[in-house]
Amino acid sequence: MYLNPLDIHYCQDSISNTFSSGANIGDVLDDVCDGRTPLSSFPKIAVNKKNSKWYTTDNRRLWVFRQLRRLGKCGEIPVVKTGSISSEKMTTNNDGVEIEVRGGIYGVWFWKPNGAGSNPNGTYACTWPENSVPVYLHSFKYDNDSDDSDSDGYL
């Protein structure tokens, strides 16, 4: 199954700016945009349908895919349906439309025109217009902890 990254909602209200590998999400975005990391190497995002909307616990990977879509670097992405998302994971306070990135976003592609922009206190609230453009990705190791996990052990 394939979905537009913009049709997938975040389940959390914030994410860390790094994967467990230590890679900053902005640097990962740069690696894909600059051709160092192919989109095809990213694991599928796990999704669950709730109230007619698709949600994921793979919030950091979704952030990268949404940025790629905004930049015209990706289209629909492969996803896999999963069981329900636990209520502890559903912390979004805006229906999963936007997410706060805790910490700085490094790299250059995030800051290109149409970027989400920054907040003076160092956090970033990111939203994407409904008519943005798509992306594909590469495999990094990420953490599987309870507050920021991406479900399959990769990016």
Is the pTM here over 0.85, yes or no? no
- Which 8-state DSSP code applies to residue 44? P
Q: What is the per-residue pLDDT for 42? A: 87
- Which 8-state DSSP code applies to residue 63? H
Amino acid (1-letter code) at residue 150: D
Q: What is the per-residue pLDDT for 104? A: 87
Cα-Cα-Cα-Cα dihedral sign, residues 137, 143, 149, 153: positive
Per CATH, which fold does 2-126 belong to?
Answer: 3.90.1530
Q: What is the per-residue pLDDT for 40? A: 86
Per-residue pLDDT of the chain (155 residues; tens, 9 = 90+): 999 999 999 999 999 999 988 999 999 999 999 999 998 888 999 999 999 999 999 999 999 999 999 999 989 999 999 988 999 999 999 999 999 999 989 999 998 876 444 333 333 334 333 443 333 333 333 233 334 444 333 34
